[in-house]
Structure 1
């Protein structure tokens, strides 16, 4: 490999965590993010034109490539059975991710699905790098005024959605209660931590049983938790992981990861619970568990 290619490969690797973060925030898919980075790397190594700011150039290339992936995935997602949830991401193992990166929060990742692919791309580059509108327009092949509209529309959609303050320490405590409750069969203490307006989300992808619609309210959520335990409690083994900058519980059934439970909690208790059960969305976690 020539010195130029070595230098370009080194430049790419130095910002890989950031590029992976952009790809993941765009696609909410770990596998797609890896494919996107590989595509961008190959094109980058063969790029002949001089690039002044390689970091900004590669970030825009990743965002643009992610748009193409989202367009291809649209039909698949439109036909998805039941609720669609993002793939959980193991954050501690990847340098460059920090607990202050609120855009990796699982609840925020789900909110990002309210944005169109273009809104997502413009918003992320504008928020992360302060990318000028003229550069965004050039990158995405649209007019500057359109970029401004997309950015402000994205901010409005995200700010209009109800979000509770994330408290990692409280979530850790509640997850301990979750483990104790499922192992003992006594769910009373855990149920007491549910907010009256709690919402449960469950994603099985049509491959394993899961709630087809969101479950709203403490009463309905309590029944759902009791139903889960009555079916799997005795066989369930729990292990803690750190996913999307939040403590989470991995539920093993017969030695295999069966469910990822991610909680959102605040001073008022558990506000959201996300149960990811689609095998395709948890298989990439095997090497970390």
Structure 2
């Protein structure tokens, strides 16, 4: 296998690591490109997978440090940049449940090194020894970082109890109730402590603060469904970050992605991405 073929074989894993650590697909692509430039000039690489994992992980830690500063100045709630899954090779890069929007939001509680350790351990099943080698620390320190991260995020490994088919049906019910303005029907689908988080980034109209509570969330969502823009939009259920989600197109342009988080047979959180910059990557995926 030549150098380029070897690198391309590792690309899904590299992107998977970078995306989970940073939470931004465009930044993850930049990291993979930076890794490629280093790969071209490297000599004597005997274990490409390990070498590339080390390079990508440390590039991500450096980028995440500056990204955190930008997120502190972000207008309104910050959400991860969504990616389309389903038939995309990205989903094959280890565990899909570790790339859900809910999981990535939880990781925002961690420091860059903690996040890197947690991703390598949870999503890619690296040993503490191997993680230590990637980060240039000893095994005991890697283990300590992991347990510290685990304590800070809580049970981030919790699985959804709904099957994929049931999840799609629930999201379809949610969509129908929202479009029809059925507040009562929507309340039946939402958990009591349901919340809505809208990421407009100051570039699209969106609530600047989260909406909390079943009743408040239901009224907010049905209100969105009644707007003039919503009435002329086309909506469909697709797969985003390994979960059923709602894609809204206006005049053929993707303008909103709503990702409901399912707990049991109800929806507990709705994350809406409206910032056009954050929809660019998905647009490229869907157009490919």
Q: Same fold (TM over 0.5)?
A: yes
For residues 8 and 80 of structure 2, the distance between their equivalents in structure 1, rounded to whole angstroms, comes to 25
For residues 281 and 246 of structure 2, the distance between their equivalents in structure 1, rounded to whole angstroms, comes to 16
**Could you report, residue by residue, the CA deviation over 1:81-123 in whole angstroms, capped at 9, with x for unpaired residues?**
1110001111224325249521012211111111111001122
1:20 aligns with 2:15: yes
Which residue of structure 1 aligns with residue 251 of structure 2? 254
**Could you report, residue by residue, the CA deviation over 1:33-87 in whole angstroms, capped at 9, with x for unpaired residues?**
1111111011112111232x22122112111111121122222111101110001
- Seen in structure 2, the aligned counterparts of structure 1 residues 162 and 34 have a Cα distance that, compared at 3 Å, is closer
**Could you report, residue by residue, the CA deviation over 1:124-158 in whole angstroms, capped at 9, with x for unpaired residues?**
2234242443x544543445443222111111222
For residues 50 and 160 of structure 1, the distance between their equivalents in structure 2, rounded to whole angstroms, comes to 38
Which residue of structure 2 aligns with residue 3 of structure 1? none
For residues 194 and 130 of structure 1, the distance between their equivalents in structure 2, rounded to whole angstroms, comes to 37
How much is the aligned-residue C-alpha RMSD, in angstroms? 2.3
- Seen in structure 2, the aligned counterparts of structure 1 residues 161 and 216 have a Cα distance that, compared at 3 Å, is farther
- Seen in structure 2, the aligned counterparts of structure 1 residues 126 and 225 have a Cα distance that, compared at 3 Å, is closer
Alpha-carbon contact 1:136-1:144 (below 8 Å) kept: yes
1:284 aligns with 2:278: no
> TM-score of the superposition, structure 1-length normalised?
0.88
Which residue of structure 2 aligns with residue 70 of structure 1? 64
Counterpart mapping for 1:259-270 below 5 A: 259-270=256-267
1:80 aligns with 2:74: yes
Structure 1 spans left out of the alignment, 5+ residues: 1-5
Which residue of structure 2 aligns with residue 216 of structure 1? 212
Alpha-carbon contact 1:164-1:271 (below 8 Å) kept: no
Counterpart mapping for 1:147-162 below 5 A: 147-160=142-155
Which residue of structure 2 aligns with residue 48 of structure 1? 43
Which one of 178, 181, 186 corresponds to residue 177 of structure 2?
181
Deviation at 1:206, TM superposition (A): 1.2
For residues 7 and 142 of structure 2, the distance between their equivalents in structure 1, rounded to whole angstroms, comes to 27
- Seen in structure 2, the aligned counterparts of structure 1 residues 69 and 93 have a Cα distance that, compared at 3 Å, is farther
Q: Give SS of 1:15's match.
A: helix
Alpha-carbon contact 2:183-2:219 (below 8 Å) kept: no
Aligned length: 282
